[in-house]
Amino acid sequence: MSLLNDLTRSGRLWSASDWRMARIHAAPSGYAALDAELPGGGWPLGAVTEILYARPGQGELRLLLPYLATLSQTGQLWQAWFNPPNRPHAPGLAYWGLDLSRLLLCQAPRQDDLLWSLERCLTTGGCQAVVAWVDRLDNAHMRRLQLAAESNRMPVFLLRPERWRDRASIAALRLQVCAEQADRVQLHILKRRAGWPLRNLAVTVPLQPDRVQHHG
């Protein structure tokens, strides 16, 4: 029975009637509509989250920013961003309340460098969150990342092109972003712990942060 209890508690095993009971370490994303559907009530800590999007500007980063900004205000650890496809714009990021002095921007053009660096970020204890724009990533590597994230309770966000949607993935949470309007997205939760896939979750992601809510 204890194995069953353990598995249930960590969200690896869940029953349809009480899936919201699973205890998953998570932090609020800043979007109430999204939090309601995410196991644990927010972005999972200690897991890989995959966000699939078609092109920049669809809200893929705006989804993360309220959480990343809040996180950056705490502690002295780095927030490492790997291989952004365009240059991050400091005034725009600062507008969301992101503490730029915590942001570490890394370019790792070679795949093995990237994986090595991601793993170091997760295991050395010098990082609070990792965001990486990656394309191809094979399952063995993904699994290593997932295990490293799990054992160090670190959130890892992988921003990937939409075409990887139908490939199997080890990530604990997979979301596909489809923009509907400039400030409104339809999210498809392709995979989540302690829950089944969900389509067409409408979330409002404004172009500028909701100042009252996050910085009041």
* Residues at the interface with another protein (CB under 8 A): 54-62, 65, 75-78, 80, 84-96, 99-101, 103-108, 113, 116-117, 120-121, 124-127, 178-183, 207-208
Give whichever of 5 and 151 is closer to another protein, judged by the CB atom: 151
Smallest gap, in angstroms, from Cβ of residue 98 to another protein?
9
Smallest gap, in angstroms, from Cβ of residue 69 to another protein?
11
Smallest gap, in angstroms, from Cβ of residue 138 to another protein?
20
> How many whole angstroms separate alpha carbon 99 and alpha carbon 124?
21
Q: State the amino acid at position 114 in one-letter form.
A: L
Smallest gap, in angstroms, from Cβ of residue 76 to another protein?
5
Give whichever of 110 and 168 is closer to another protein, judged by the CB atom: 110
Q: Strand, coil or helix: what is 214?
A: helix
**Two tokens at 24?**
């998953």
Give whichever of 14 and 31 is closer to another protein, judged by the CB atom: 31
> How many whole angstroms separate alpha carbon 96 and alpha carbon 62?
9
> How many whole angstroms separate alpha carbon 69 and alpha carbon 213?
13
Beta carbons within 8 Å of 184's beta carbon, 6+ residues apart: 202, 203, 204, 205
Give whichever of 118 and 194 is closer to another protein, judged by the CB atom: 118
